[in-house]
Amino acid sequence: MKTLKGKVAVVTGGAGGIGRATALRLAADGCDVAIADVNEAGMDETAREVRARGKRASVHRVDVSKEDEMARLVDDVHAAHGRVHVVVNNAGVAVSQTVAEHDLADFEWVVGINFWGVVYGSKLFLPRLVEQGEGHIVNISSVFGLIGLPTQSAYCATKFAVRGFTEALRAELVGTGVGVTSVHPGGVNTDIVKSARFADERARARSVRFFETRTVPPSRVADGISRAILRDQGRLLVTAETYVVDALKRVAPSLTDAVVGRFKGLAE
């Protein structure tokens, strides 16, 4: 896509964090925005900020893990805006627990939102994007889609899956006019840790302190997403630690143990 002016973007998980920042950046770039989330108050605030930038906004209460709700979202967005050009599959949740102690219901909760939400958002909007011959799908993976960390098995599993799914989809869509980007943020100051399910509240407190003091604002990711869409960039790395992990995994995989050690204390 050569410009975002006059386009329509859908952002899941748009009530806060990376989702809200992306919605606002795309609005600043000239997009009308459809905001999808389960947090109605947060969506309304994002919509107010989009409108303050002179763009149209619609809000859609959607559980992205439900196929029927995501199918309805496609129809509702087209009814509200007439078309869609950009789909940002951002909604995500986390659980902090060892594999041995992990509740399977929690594992399914993470997979439903983090992975199936991306699959539904990509597949169900895809026919209309291909039909119009122009569009872009942005799927939010993570630095945890590059490296596995203790107590993050469910989150890592889904983010690795998002990475593989997105790379395959991009290859399939060559020549269609529809681009695809996999986004890999590192530490970003959002509420995902506060809302995560932790077995140990002390670990939550340590993680919250880390994310509040040693991470980048969501706008850093949003700015990168905007550029990636316009450049048709297949993969976007955000934050220094993501570049370090990516490089180590390529040239010295055994050294990633040192990186894992840096994060391990957050979970103990």
Structure confidence by residue, pLDDT tens digits, 89-120: 999 998 888 889 888 999 999 999 999 999 99
pTM recorded for the entire structure: 0.88
| Class for the domain spanning 8-267 | alpha beta
**How large is the average pLDDT for residues 13-24?**
97
Please indicate whether residue 116 or residue 264 has the higher confidence score (pLDDT): 116
- pLDDT band at 196, cuts 50/70/90? low
pLDDT computed for residue 262 by the predictor = 57
Is it the case that residue 253 has pLDDT exceeding 90? no
pLDDT digits (tens, 9 = 90+) for 150-172: 888 999 999 999 999 999 999 99
The mean predicted confidence, pLDDT, of the chain is 89
Residues involved in catalysis: 155
Give the closest residue to 184 by CA, choosing from 242, 262, 107.
Answer: 242
**How large is the average pLDDT for residues 181-191?**
84
Lowest mean pLDDT among 46-50, 118-122, 216-220: 216-220
